Amino acid sequence: MIELAERHTFKLPAQCRSLIELKSSDDVEQLVFEEPYYLLGEGSNTLFVDNFYGTVICNRLLGVCIEEQEDSYLITAAAGENWHNFVADLRVRSIDGLENLALIPGSVGAAPVQNVGAYGVEVATFIEQVTAWDIKEKRWVSMNREACQFAYRDSVFKQNPGRWLITSVVFRLPKDWQPVTHYAPLNQLQGHVSAQKIFDTVVEVRQKKLPDPKVIPNAGSFFKNPVITKAQLDELLQKWPDMVYFPVADNQVKVAAGWLIEHLGLKSAFVGDAAVNPHQALVLINKAQATGSDITQLALKIMKQVVDASGIMLEPEVRLVGQHGLVQLAVKK
Ligand code: EPU
């Protein structure tokens, strides 16, 4: 068995039966995908909550190619590139658009899977194409933005885990750059706002609010912000007039799950060494020796209290891997 603690940012003790490091896309066609297997990038959105009796395939494909076109840059990045280094490198070259997504942990290949987003920007906006090996049909595919079926923290890749091994992502960044500053605290910036200023501010805010996974193991937001109807919202606002929410569509709003967790007094909740992050309650942390069972129990405790108080069923944003593959968490209303 092979230890996985250092291969996921939550650092839970867990092992897998075998592990493959994929370093060249030439090797993809020869890979044998024997069930169960799990496709891993930098492990910043996956928690191994138990030993996994299967194969973990780590994507380590590297390389970035920038093509300058008349109105935009077309950038092809291999899936194993580190996301923040990629964003920072583009900033140095004055190729702008991804600066709001600075410091998001993980790899380039993971970005389209959960359509990473932060401070008013979702990566889907800039994705031109995703190249992947279709494991089921044993062929290469190039998927355009529509085929990727992007939604809030969601995509066709997330909906069909294990179907495609993403090898590279093509981004189109228009030269006519527009700053996105409507999301707090970027909306406090005064005067002309440069891409560098946004990049620096996002890095500063993330460093202040979100624990550095290298210091305090975590996997970013543990739950998605739930989307509810306006009717549900009106009911909740009668009880909690200062509840934080954001409009998403005509009849829908996204509730700040961090607010719900904090408001229900769960900021100090813990099970063993698994705890709620005191600076941002949507993030759960491993204080030192947390186990998969600790974190699962803590998540279920939060889900139960939130559903009992609000009727809202929180859904994990991270992926939990157990003995035979992905596991779902569920509580009764
Ligand atoms: N809030 C609280 N208490 C908390 C946490 C949040 O009251 O403990 C309230 C704040 O008042 C704030 C609102 O909730 O007004 C939203 O909080 P924040 O701006 O920190 O963002 P979030 O909704 O908790 C989302 C993303 C983050 C992303 C930030 C910034 C999800 C699941 N998470 O968090 O993404 O960095 O917005 O754009 O959508 C991630 O996906 O791993 C991640 C960190």
What's the rounded Cα separation, in Å, for the pair 164 and 309?
39
What is the model's pLDDT at position 250? 87
Closest C-alpha to 62, from 43, 77, 84 = 77
* CA 148 – ligand 1 centroid, Å: 25
Q: According to CATH, what is the number of the domain 64-205?
A: 3.30.465.10
What is the model's pLDDT at position 292? 98
pLDDT in tens, 160-202: 999 999 999 999 999 999 999 999 999 999 999 999 999 999 9
CB-count burial class (<10 Å; 0-12, 13-18, 19+) for 301: middle
Domain ranges in the chain are 2-59, 64-205, 212-321
Regions of the chain short of the pLDDT cut 50? none
What is the model's pLDDT at position 132? 98
The fold adopted by the segment(s) 212-321 is 3.90.78
Distances (CA, A) of 182 to 40, 188, 190, 202, 310: 33, 9, 12, 13, 28
The fold adopted by the segment(s) 2-59 is 3.30.43
* CA 258 – ligand 1 centroid, Å: 6
Distances (CA, A) of 76 to 72, 79, 85: 13, 9, 14
**CB of 262 sitting under 6 A from ligand 1:** yes
Query: What phi and psi, each to the nearest 5 degrees, are found at residue 99?
Result: -60, -30
What is the model's pLDDT at position 249? 85
pLDDT in tens, 19-47: 999 999 999 999 999 999 999 999 999 99
What is the model's pLDDT at position 333? 85
Tell me which residue has its CA closest to atom 16 in ligand 1.
Answer: 256
Measured distance between the N- and C-terminal CA atoms of the chain, rounded to whole angstroms: 38
For the full predicted model, state whether its pTM sits above 0.95: yes
Residue 329: both structure tokens together? 């968490």
